[in-house]
């Protein structure tokens, strides 16, 4: 299971500082973001059922049918329950990882469990805070995939090039 990090906010300034080498950063006490393992897909499907944002396109069986590869970034609360998630489908082409919407899938936005929120302000706060953590998690995954698939751009001397 891979864990993502979120940069800490500097006290009183609202400025995001660079992430440090810790494996998990928290936006609230005990809240973490990770990439979901395949054996946890039934838990993902339960979140899709609970969420007002969940559609047929979010279910794991749909993603497994329509997407060649995908990862589901999720947020877990202090009890370890899924409270938010975002599926990210992709294809591998040689040295590239292409992020795309799968065939016959018009929508794949984030899903949130808002059952713990009492009013609209709490719901908006949960969606924003969990959404920011998901966005950071996806950005970290993209950044690490770019670094792991980097191509050398060294110049080749003219005398070493094959004849045309």
Q: Quick check: is 11 in a domain?
A: no
Closest CA to 138 of 62, 63, 91, 74: 74
> Does the pLDDT value for residue 137 go beyond 80?
yes
Q: What is the pLDDT of residue 104?
A: 86
Q: Quick check: is 4 in a domain?
A: no
- φ, ψ of residue 63 in degrees (nearest 5): -65, -40
b (16+ CB within 10 A) / e for 127-145: bebbbebbebbbebbeeee
Q: Quick check: is 160 in a domain?
A: no
Q: What is the pLDDT of residue 20?
A: 35
> Does the pLDDT value for residue 54 go beyond 60?
yes
Q: How many Å apart are CA 35 and CA 17, to the nearest integer?
A: 23
Q: What is the pLDDT of residue 164?
A: 52
pLDDT digits over 19-47, tens only? 433 334 445 678 899 999 999 999 999 99
If you average pLDDT over every residue of the chain, what do you get?
A: 76
Q: In percent, how much of the chain has pLDDT > 70?
A: 70
User: What CATH number has the domain bearing residue 143?
Assistant: 3.40.630.30
Q: What is the pLDDT of residue 127?
A: 95
Q: What is the pLDDT of residue 28?
A: 65
Structure tokens at 108: 């794949």
> Does the pLDDT value for residue 12 go beyond 60?
no
Q: What is the pLDDT of residue 91?
A: 80
Query: What is the number of domains present in the chain?
Result: 1
| Residue predicted with more confidence, 55 or 92 | 55
Q: Quick check: is 79 in a domain?
A: yes
Concatenated DSSP letters of 49-101: HH-TT--GGGSHHHHHHH-SEEEEEEEE-TTS-EEEEEEEEEEEETTEEEE-P
| Residue predicted with more confidence, 14 or 131 | 131
Q: Quick check: is 12 in a domain?
A: no
pTM over 0.75? The answer is no
């Amino acid at each position: 299971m891979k864990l993502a990090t979120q940069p800490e906010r500097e006290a009183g300034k609202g400025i995001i500082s660079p992430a440090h080498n810790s494996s998990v950063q928290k936006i609230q006490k005990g809240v973490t973001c990770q990439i979901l393992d395949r054996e946890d897909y039934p838990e993902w499907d339960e979140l899709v059922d609970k969420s007002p944002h969940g559609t047929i396109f979010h279910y794991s069986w749909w993603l497994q049918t329509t997407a060649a590869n995908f990862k589901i970034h999720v947020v877990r609360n202090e009890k370890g329950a899924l409270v938010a998630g975002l599926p990210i489908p992709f294809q591998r082409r040689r040295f590239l990882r292409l992020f795309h919407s799968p065939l016959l899938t018009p929508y794949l936005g984030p899903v949130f469990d808002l059952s713990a929120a009492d009013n609209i302000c709490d719901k908006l706060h949960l969606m924003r805070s969990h959404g920011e953590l998901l966005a950071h998690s996806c950005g970290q995954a993209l950044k690490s995939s770019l670094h792991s698939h980097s191509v050398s751009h060294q110049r080749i001397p003219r005398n070493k090039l094959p004849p045309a």
